[in-house]
Structure 1
Amino acid sequence: MAKPMPRPFTVTSTHLISPNMRRIRLSGEAIANYPDDAEGCYVKLVFPQDSESKPLLRTYTIRQIDYAAQWMDLDFVIHADGGPASCWADSAKAGDTLHIGGPGPAKRISLPADWFLLAGDMTALPAIDNNLKRLPEDARGYLLLEIITEADKQAIDIETIPAGLEVIWILNPHPGDLKKFSDAICQLPWLEGQPSIWVAAELDEVLKARRHIKAQPAIETGSLYISSYWQHGMTEDRHKVAKRESL
């Protein structure tokens, strides 16, 4: 099946939900053709370059969607030295337009399981938020979240977190540089029973975490998702190449 062509969307609102995360609401008629469970799916944002260059594509997760009103929310981590998507989000205002392709399939945490490990940095918060909504009320295990500042805790909906998940906050003002995320995963006590594991963050971090997880008792096929959403010091295009070679 051919992938749907990018379609135009219009910014209807934008606001900071934490010091380092901006939420942008985008409206577009294309949402009428999105699947019923598009929350947590990824979309491709199209940033045109000069006439001789291909446009830049950047991947983001749908945080929330309203089919009747035809809008969706995307969350952007704001960096001082950000790429095209972060810079666009930081200056976007109501009425601005952007072409968006997709959606592509969501990466859901596997159910059921004896216990769960969800871990990610701020780039993974929209996907983690949607996975938390799918967990059973009696879910137990760990929720490990790396954020830039204490105030960035506001970027996650704590009401969706099952009481049986131990929440571990990692403060790292230099994500992808100081390897606090993977160190924290390596220090977690391994629980009894079969786990379901979902991990997404910077490439070097998840490679280290994967080596540790693979050294634990065997995990059932389909119950392990580990992915990198970005690479420290690299553009998304170069990161994709490194990701294919490493994961």
Structure 2
Amino acid sequence: MGQSMPVSAMPVSSVRVTEVERITPRTARVTFTGDALPDVLEDRPDQQMKLCLPREGRSVLKLPEMDADDAHGMRWYEAYLAIPEAERPWTRSFTIRSHDRARGTMTVDFVLHGDTGPAARWGARARPGDVLGMVGPSSLYARPLRSAERMLLAGDETALPAIATLLEALPHGTRALVYAEVADAGEEVALPDAEAEVRWVRRDAGGSLVEAVRDAGAFGGAFGGAVDAAWVAGEASAVRALRRHLVQERGLPKAAVEFSGYWRRSLSQDDAPTSEDLAWAAERAAGSA
């Protein structure tokens, strides 16, 4: 999964499902191919993009064509918004779990949290041959990690694809401490081999990502000490609470904490941003300037 980002100013293409694998009871890993993938995929971690999903009851995806001279995608986005709402595809943000530029393929993990949203519904029913639209990815939204000797990576199951790519990209000598919140032990996925210590937080056992990090003392054990930088993503209110904790109680500089609210409890990406959402988006943008 990924944070909400503008649809304009990014490449638009189509992708087709070639394989669907249920990697946990609540996660479907979908492999896509597409003619544009070798050109738009980049060799970097945490590549975020949007997938355009057909509305319920529609098997054909209705999307406008992208003009070659529409450099910033604004005309495409205006045409997209002009599609009647009942026909307009849903757009949802994701992080690419892995890709193969030579073969023109990518894999995306769908968290299946019931029939409560278009992405979960589509992911549960995905079949080879299904076609979606894709907006992005774009290096305009790439956020390189800070250099650090010890790094904290924290998130829920929606952040696991990004965490995995970040672990794969860690420079030699950087140690990582991962806190990952999942529903139960069945949702614990294999993470890449790295100089990392992984601590799973299970909701069925009463675990909470925020409480687990807050109660961790000096992040001792095999990890051996305080962190120099952090990356936090997942449900927005949990991300905000963790960032406040890391800055105010752990003493990390604000610039050392990269954060993204991937989803909002009781709200979707189609709902208007709250005043707190806007304030945090402005602060995040200011931190990257």
Q: If the length of structure 2 is used for normalisation, what is the TM-score?
A: 0.74
2:113 aligns to what SS in structure 1?
Answer: coil
Structure 1 Cα separation of the partners of residues 144 and 260 of structure 2: 12
Counterpart of 1:228 in structure 2 is: 261
Instruction: Structure 1 unaligned segments of length 5 or more: list them.
Output: none
Matched, 1:110 2:146: yes
Structural RMSD (CA): 2.5
Counterpart of 1:21 in structure 2 is: 27
Deviates more, 1:75-84 or 1:131-140: 131-140
Matches within 5 A, 1:86-125: 86-104=120-138, 105-111=141-147, 113-125=148-160
Structure 1 Cα separation of the partners of residues 236 and 154 of structure 2: 13
1:236 aligns to what SS in structure 2?
Answer: coil
Shift of 1:133: 1.1
Matches within 5 A, 1:53-132: 53=85, 54-104=88-138, 105-111=141-147, 113-132=148-167
Structure 2 Cα separation of the partners of residues 85 and 38 of structure 1: 24
Q: Deviations over 1:1-36 (max 9, x none)?
A: x62442111100001111111100011011122143
Structure 2 Cα separation of the partners of residues 87 and 133 of structure 1: 30
Structure 2 Cα separation of the partners of residues 246 and 78 of structure 1: 27
Instruction: Structure 2 unaligned segments of length 5 or more: list them.
Output: 1-7, 59-82, 220-224, 282-289
Matched, 1:169 2:219: no
User: Which amino acid is the alignment partner of residue 269 of structure 2?
Assistant: E
Using a 3 Å threshold, how does the CA distance of structure 1 residues 194 and 11 change in structure 2: closer, same or farther?
closer
Shift of 1:244: 2.2
Specify which structure has the higher proportion of strand: 1
Using a 3 Å threshold, how does the CA distance of structure 1 residues 10 and 38 change in structure 2: closer, same or farther?
farther
Structure 2 Cα separation of the partners of residues 236 and 173 of structure 1: 27
Q: Is the 8 A contact 2:201 2:208 kept in 1?
A: yes
Whichever of the two has the greater Rg, that structure is: 2
Shift of 1:88: 0.6
2:216 aligns to what SS in structure 1?
Answer: coil
Structure 1 Cα separation of the partners of residues 25 and 54 of structure 2: 28
Structure 2 Cα separation of the partners of residues 239 and 120 of structure 1: 24
Counterpart of 1:52 in structure 2 is: 84
Shift of 1:237: 2.5
What count of residue pairs does the alignment treat as equivalent? 238
Counterpart of 1:203 in structure 2 is: 236
1:65 aligns to what SS in structure 2?
Answer: strand
Structure 2 Cα separation of the partners of residues 42 and 128 of structure 1: 13
Using a 3 Å threshold, how does the CA distance of structure 1 residues 213 and 18 change in structure 2: closer, same or farther?
same
Matched, 1:143 2:173: no
Q: Is the 8 A contact 1:231 1:239 kept in 2?
A: no
Q: Is the 8 A contact 2:20 2:28 kept in 1?
A: yes
Structure 2 Cα separation of the partners of residues 43 and 62 of structure 1: 8
User: Which amino acid is the alignment partner of residue 207 of structure 1?
Assistant: R
Matched, 1:183 2:189: no
Using a 3 Å threshold, how does the CA distance of structure 1 residues 239 and 160 change in structure 2: closer, same or farther?
farther
Shift of 1:211: 1.8
Q: Is the 8 A contact 2:11 2:137 kept in 1?
A: no
Q: Deviations over 1:213-243 (max 9, x none)?
A: 1213543464211221111111123275452
Structure 1 Cα separation of the partners of residues 128 and 41 of structure 2: 26
